[in-house]
Amino acid sequence: MKVCIVGAGSLGSLLAAYLVKGGVTVGVLTRGPQAAAGKSCAVEVRRVFSNDSFHVENITNLGNMKEISDYDLIFLAVKAFDVLSVVKKMHDDNIIDPARHVMCLIQNGLGIEDSVRFYFPRVPILRASTTNGALLEQPGVVKHTGSGETFLGFWDAEKHAGWETMLDALRDSLVSAGLHAELASNMRQKVWEKAIVNAGINPVGAIFKVPNGRILEIGSLKSISDKLVGEAMAVARKGKFIEKFDGFSAVKKVIEATAANRNSMLQDIEKGRKTEIDFINGAISRAGIELHITTPWNDALVAIIHGLEATCGV
Ligand code: PAF
């Protein structure tokens, strides 16, 4: 199995490194500075939670999008708001063969699969959801700031026949490299569960500029997080998007496992980049409107994050 990772930010670089460590042939396509580094690149992973590091080499640096055709599994590790333009380009350049390729999405947030489905109705979509925390210190050096869980599974049950072996191999290589990875048959639910967790952590950390752990320690931050999660849970329950899921304990568990992490939304704000707020709290507010559930806390935090984006140079 050959895996191509599109987007070598924090999560893309972390994933590339663990896959290579697990014996997979990996290529990356990125617009970042490492794109100019030549035909192969290396990644160093510094693990904060176990105070050690590892280094992998021989990651092929793809020169352009056309080279993706040579790979079997295409991991889109770009931000949620970039997925549509990336898949449009793949479509316009005729790069994807539905008989050969599987597309995997690993972003935070809701509704991202629709962009892939719009351009590629027949390509199997694999969904990954992870609570690992990562921070790209510089191109090729990623800090693994929180050891979380990764769930993998196909998005549409009827489209996965024949691809199970590939999915098993993917899980096995991540596990052998030291990640906690599991297959899940209910990825739609897992993605909602993760969105609820992100809704309760990401904007709070981003607004108050604190690592995840502080949200549990500072009473007022914890109560804002609880309000966001309570609304998200009400929407998800009414829409039957989740079953037997306790969002409050899930947020606590993820915060404890990633206490040192500056969440991805905070990293975006600090780097003057657009955030994924519209796919997280924004998507929860929109689902609330459809289901006639009010979500004032989520609406307010979406507006504040948009304000921060506007004032931090986006
Ligand atoms: O977006 C993030 O940063 C991550 O999804 C998580 C798990 C909240 C850790 O910070």
Q: How far is the CA of 195 from the centre of ligand 1 (A)?
A: 10
Distance of CA 259 to CAs 133, 138, 189, 212, Å?
9, 21, 25, 5
- Range list of β-strands (E), 161-285: 180-183
The DSSP code sequence of 113-148 is HHHHHHH-TTS-EEEEEE--EEEEEETTEEEEEE--
What are 196-244's pLDDT values in tens digits? 999 999 999 999 999 999 999 999 999 999 999 999 999 999 999 999 9
Give the integer Cα–Cα distance in Å for 201 and 250.
11
CB-side neighbour CA atoms (13 Å) of 11: 23
The model's pLDDT over 258-275, given as tens digits with 9 standing for 90+, comes to 999 999 999 999 999 999
Strand 102-105 and strand 73-76: the pairing is parallel
pLDDT tens-place string over residues 21-80: 999 999 999 876 555 555 788 999 999 999 999 999 999 999 889 999 999 999 999 999
Q: Whose CA is nearest to atom 3 of ligand 1?
A: 263
> By three-state DSSP, how is residue 103 classified?
strand
Contact 108, 191 (CB under 8 A): no
**Residue 307 confidence (pLDDT) above 90:** yes
For a mutational test of ligand 1's pocket, the pick from 110, 112, 225, 258, i.e. the residue with the most ligand atoms closer than 8 A to its C-beta, is 258
Q: What is residue 259's predicted lDDT score, i.e. its pLDDT? A: 94
Domains and CATH numbers, the chain: 2-185 (3.40.50.720), 189-311 (1.10.1040.10)
CA of 110 relative to ligand 1 center, distance in Å: 15
Residues 3, 23: contact at Cβ < 8 Å?
no
- Name the residues annotated as catalytic: 194
Strand 25-29 and strand 52-61: pairing?
A: parallel
Q: Residue 92: pLDDT band by 50, 70, 90 thresholds?
A: very high
